[in-house]
Structure 1
Amino acid sequence: VDSNGVLNKDGILRKVHRLFPGETSVPAVIEKCSTT
């Protein structure tokens, strides 16, 4: 999250692809993380 409160999508997506290969939807991943 940058100073404007906006997600750094590139960095987030890179992490997402490492943790959840094939998952392209950040909200879906956030949902997975928050429900675990």
Structure 2
Amino acid sequence: SVYSSSSVLARLASEAFYETIHLVTPKESIHL
């Protein structure tokens, strides 16, 4: 259960990180 909760938190953190990048960076300059 520790693994699953940390995995969920990692996914949420990573999604929030990418959403923030997309908000602060023009879409034309994103090449991922």
More helix by share: 2
TM-score if structure 2 supplies the norm length? 0.38
TM-score if structure 1 supplies the norm length? 0.36
